[in-house]
C-alpha cells in the first residue's frame, strides 16, 4: 500500500520545517580545533558540527514527527512523549523483577504475550505505588482499540542497555494495565534504520532479553507497521527528494563559513 498524498505532504512539511528551524537556531560549538579547521576548512568543520548536532536529537526532531505524520492517517490516535501511567502495583513490580531476573540468568526465554498475561493478573494487587516512568516516544491507538507504545532508540544502542529497555517496556504495560486491566497493550523497542544494511540487523546480542517477534521493530518493520507496506522505501525517497529541494538553502547556509 503506497503512502497517500496527504501522508507524503505531511512528511515533506516535517522535514522542511525541521531543517529550516535548525538553520535558524543553530550555533556551531565554540570549541577551537585549529588543526582540523586549517586542514579541512571552516565550512567543512561547520558542516561536521551541524551533522553531529542533528544526530543527537534526530529522534525527537525528525523520527517522532515523521512517525506521527504517517500514523495519523492509519491509526485512530497518534501521540508523542506520552505518560504510560502513574502507578504500578507492588505485585506487578515483583512479577517484573522476576521476569528480569529469569532473563538475566538465562533461566527463561523472553515471551512477551506470557509476560503481559502475568502482569495483567496482578496489575491491581498489593500496594499501588506512584512511579515516574520514561515517557513513551510514540503512542498509537489502532482501529481495534489496541494500544502500541514505542521506545525509539538510536540505530546502534548499547547491547548492555537492553536490560533496562526491557524493564521500561514491562513497566509501561504494568502502568497502563493499572489504569485499565482489560487494555490490549503492546510495547516495543523501535530502531528507525538498520546500520548494517544490506546485512541483517545484528539481533543476537539482544535475543536473550527481548522477544524479537513481539518486542522489536527495526527499519522497514517499524515504518511499514506505522504507514503501511512500502512506507519505509517511500520515506527514503521523500528524504532524498526534500534533500535535493533544500540543497541550495543548505549550501547557502554554509557559505558563511568559507571566510
pLDDT digits (tens, 9 = 90+) for 122-151: 999 999 999 999 999 999 999 999 999 999
Residue 240 lies in a domain: no
User: How large is the angle between the packed helices 231-255 and 42-56, nearest 10 degrees?
Assistant: 140
What cell numbers appear for 127 in the block? 500496594
Q: How far is CA 74 from CA 96, 161, 217, 231, in A?
A: 32, 32, 18, 12
Are both 83 and 181 inside the same structural domain?
yes
3-state secondary structure of 75: coil
Short-list 144, 154, 141, CA closest to 189: 154
pTM of the model: 0.90
The mean per-residue pLDDT over the stretch 38-56 comes to 80
The mean per-residue pLDDT over the stretch 178-193 comes to 96
* Total residue count of the chain as it appears in this document: 259
Are both 43 and 159 inside the same structural domain?
no
Range of the domain at 249: 1-73+245-259
pLDDT tier for residue 252 given thresholds of 50, 70 and 90: confident
pLDDT tier for residue 159 given thresholds of 50, 70 and 90: low
Cis peptide before 120 (omega within 30 of 0): no
pLDDT tier for residue 203 given thresholds of 50, 70 and 90: low
CB atoms inside a 10 Å sphere around CB 35: 8
Are both 223 and 122 inside the same structural domain?
yes
Measure CA of the first residue to CA of the last residue in the chain; give whole Å.
Answer: 49
Cα separation, 104 vs 209, whole angstroms: 7
For residue 14, the model assigns a pLDDT of: 93
Residue 237 lies in a domain: no
Amino acid at each position: 500500500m503506497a503512502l497517500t498524498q496527504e501522508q507524503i505532504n505531511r512528511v515533506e512539511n516535517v522535514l522542511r520545517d525541521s531543517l529550516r528551524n535548525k538553520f535558524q537556531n543553530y550555533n556551531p560549538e565554540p570549541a577551537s580545533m585549529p588543526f582540523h579547521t586549517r586542514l579541512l576548512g571552516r565550512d567543512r568543520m561547520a558542516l561536521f558540527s551541524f551533522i553531529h548536532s542533528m544526530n543527537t536529537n534526530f529522534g525527537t526532531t525528525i523520527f517522532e514527527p515523521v512517525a506521527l505524520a504517517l500514523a495519523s492517517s492509519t491509526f485512530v490516535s497518534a501521540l508523542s512523549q506520552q505518560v504510560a501511567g502513574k502507578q504500578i502495583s507492588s505485585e506487578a513490580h515483583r512479577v517484573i523483577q522476576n521476569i528480569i531476573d529469569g532473563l538475566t540468568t538465562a533461566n527463561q526465554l523472553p515471551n512477551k504475550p506470557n509476560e503481559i498475561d502475568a502482569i495483567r493478573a496482578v496489575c491491581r494487587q498489593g500496594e499501588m505505588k506512584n512511579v515516574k516512568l520514561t515517557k513513551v516516544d510514540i503512542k498509537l491507538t489502532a482501529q481495534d482499540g489496541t494500544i502500541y507504545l514505542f521506545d525509539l532508540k538510536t540505530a546502534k544502542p548499547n547491547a548492555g542497555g537492553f536490560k533496562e529497555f526491557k524493564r521500561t517496556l514491562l513497566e509501561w504495560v504494568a502502568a497502563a494495565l493499572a489504569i485499565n486491566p482489560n487494555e490490549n497493550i503492546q510495547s516495543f523497542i523501535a530502531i528507525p534504520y538498520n546500520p548494517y544494511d544490506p546485512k541483517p540487523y545484528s539481533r543476537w546480542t539482544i535475543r536473550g532479553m527481548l522477544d524479537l517477534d513481539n518486542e522489536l521493530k527495526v527499519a522497514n518493520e517499524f515504518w511499514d507497521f506505522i504507514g503501511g507496506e512500502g512506507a519505509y522505501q517511500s520515506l527514503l525517497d521523500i528524504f532524498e527528494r526534500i534533500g535535493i529541494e533544500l540543497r541550495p538553502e543548505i549550501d547557502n547556509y554554509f557559505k558563511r563559513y568559507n571566510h
